[in-house]
Amino acid sequence: MDSQTAVGTQTAPDAPTAGKLKPNSLGVLGILFFVLSAQAPLTGVAGAVPIAVAIGNGAGAPAAYVAAGVITLLFSVGFVAMGRHVVDAGAFYTYIGKGLGRPLGTGSAGIALFAYCAIQAAMYGLYGATVSGLFAHYTGADVPWWLCALVTMAIVQVLGSAGIEMGAKVLAVFVLAEFSILSVFALVTLFKGGGPEGLGLAQSFSPSEALQGAPGVALMFAVASMVGFEATAIYGEEAREPRKTVPRATYLAVAFVTGFFGFASWMLISSYGASKAPAAAGKALESGDSTGFVFAPIADLFGTWVNDVLPILLATSLFAGILAFHNSANRYLFSLSRDGLLPGRLSSINRRHSPGVAGWVQTAIAVLLVIPFALAGKDPVLTLFSWGSGVAVLGIMLLYLLTSLSVIVFFRRERLDTRPWNTLIAPAVGALGIAGAIWLIVENFTTLIGGERSTAVWLEITVPAVLVLGIVAARLTRDRVAG
């Protein structure tokens, strides 16, 4: 790492000699594909938009995506400012540790690992169910969802070990495919002048419409759809000119995702008509297949062949997200090991300059998270997917809040960047928005996970519990080093 472009990582005195990730491997587009894959756009649109429309603020749901994008953009300003001075694969862990202290930084690393592994396991649940359904539809074979998930874990492990460039190329294909069909649908609908009630611009974006119904629920799902963009900083060590590449990739990711979700949800609502869309979304939810709200108007526009293609694209969307979170999680394990907080073997790299051992450990964690649901015979969508994605969103939003506070403290103390907007105003306003989003998530957590209140409470408790365990582990490590 160039000492002139980044503050050094938090290396413990007894940290093992660690390998280095392959530098100059990713440009802006490469990082962008990893970020967009983590956000699984087709999964986000097909899964979140129908709920936001049906039980949120109806036709005003697109405005919730714009509001979530503004909050995320404000957070990104401080996030990028910190990234210019701290380049490390640990990202959140390192950022929070620099401003708020090593113990809290280590606790946040625990949350990051927990969240990334949980959301990856969640995706395995939905992916396994989707692929199992595809086998049944095309071959008549009854393939268990968990078998589809386990086979895919092996494929993800191979791709993760093959080097960051290979992963970026694979993801580029999948991301472009899912973005293309949704974008073409939205653009054709726009140029046609919308659906039976026109474009419905005012019905989707005016303040009165945005605040109708339960806007907090819509905002919660919109914020959840944004999760994953922060991975830009994780690839800083492997980026070309990270001081330029990471900021550009971050801002591009936030702008692109905000525009995409806002535009796609607007055109979906327009295709039904603003007055009819909430009822159509509610009917899709009652049928047990919310994707019907999204797939039906696309099939009406392009033909019934879309009904065969979209489920496949949903599977590839989930696969791309799984691979992206695999890479994020194993780089956290790598960074923590390099800093002496986990066994030294985890910081070893393979011949492709990828975190070899950390990748195997991350795959093992995925197996351990998925197998209990298979053995218990649980529905992978209603339990594994819903629970895992719920706790992951809550955990990552807490990391956003801690990072914003850390940015403010860090730059008040170090004075490496004295721009008020970048290091104080935007992070502070962003922190307020994120705190509000966390409150909405906690208040509506039962809706987010689609389960019972008692289950929601237990899942909520896991996030602060992991934070406390990480802080305790950091203090024990410090005492051991001091002794």
Please give the structure tokens belonging to residue 227: 């999760």
313 has a pLDDT exceeding 50 = yes
How far, in Å, CA of 308 to CA of 195, rounded? 24
The amino acid sitting at 228 is G
How far, in Å, CA of 289 to CA of 276, rounded? 18
Higher pLDDT, 292 or 89: 292
Which residue has 């939810």 as its token pair? 285
The answer to whether 187 and 259 are in contact (CB under 8 A) is no
Q: What share of the chain has pLDDT > 90, as a percent? A: 35
The confidence score (pLDDT) of residue 2 equals 40
The confidence score (pLDDT) of residue 84 equals 80
The confidence score (pLDDT) of residue 20 equals 67
The amino acid sitting at 395 is G
Q: What is the mean pLDDT of residues 33-49?
A: 79
114 has a pLDDT exceeding 80 = yes
The answer to whether 165 and 25 are in contact (CB under 8 A) is yes
26 bridge partner residues: 239
How far, in Å, CA of 302 to CA of 298, rounded? 6
How far, in Å, CA of 296 to CA of 303, rounded? 10
- Cβ atoms within 10 A of the Cβ of 4, count? 6
For residue range 247-261, list pLDDT tens digits in order: 888 888 888 889 999
How far, in Å, CA of 167 to CA of 51, rounded? 32
Higher pLDDT, 447 or 375: 375
13 has a pLDDT exceeding 60 = no
The answer to whether 239 and 27 are in contact (CB under 8 A) is yes
Please give the structure tokens belonging to residue 432: 């307020």
CA distances from 115 to 127, 389, 397, 464 (A): 18, 8, 10, 12
93-102, 155-164, 255-264: least confidently modelled range: 155-164
Q: What is the mean pLDDT of residues 438-443?
A: 89
Residue in 81, 78, 156 with CA at minimum distance from that of residue 117: 156
195 bridge partner residues: 198
Q: What is the mean pLDDT of residues 103-128?
A: 90
CA 208-44-431 angle, 5° bins: 60
Which letter, b or e, does each residue of 400-420 get, where b requires 16 or more Cβ atoms within 10 Å of its Cβ? bbbbbbbbbebbeeeeebeee
Which residue has 């080097």 as its token pair? 163
How far, in Å, CA of 478 to CA of 104, rounded? 13
Which letter, b or e, does each residue of 190-211 get, where b requires 16 or more Cβ atoms within 10 Å of its Cβ? eeeebbebebbeebbbeeebbe
10-24, 259-273, 291-305, 369-383: least confidently modelled range: 10-24
Residue in 128, 13, 82, 61 with CA at minimum distance from that of residue 403: 82
Q: What is the mean pLDDT of residues 241-250?
A: 80
Q: 353 φ, ψ to 5°?
A: 60, 35
Q: What is the mean pLDDT of residues 372-391?
A: 90
**3-class SS string, the chain:** CCCCCCECCCCCCCCCCCCCCCCCCECHHHHHHHHHHHCCHHHHHHHHHHHHHHHHCHHHHHHHHHHHHHHHHHHHHHHHHHHCCECCCCCHHHHHHHHHCHHHHHHHHHHHHHHHHHHHHHHHHHHHHHHHHHHHHHHCCCCCHHHHHHHHHHHHHHHHHCCHHHHHHHHHHHHHHHHHHHHHHHHHHHHCCCECCECCHHHHHCHHHHCCCCHHHHHHHHHHHHCCCCHHHHCHHHECCHHHHHHHHHHHHHHHHHHHHHHHHHHHHHHHCCCCHHHHHHHHHHCCCCCHHHHHHHHHHHCCCHHHHHHHHHHHHHHHHHHHHHHHHHHHHHHHHHCCCCCHHHHCCCCCCCCHHHHHHHHHHHHHHHHHHHHCCCCHHHHHHHHHHHHHHHHHHHHHHHHHHHHHHHHHHHCCCCCHHHHHHHHHHHHHHHHHHHHHHHHCHHHHHCCCHHHHHHHHHHHHHHHHHHHHHHHHHHHHHHC
Higher pLDDT, 357 or 369: 369
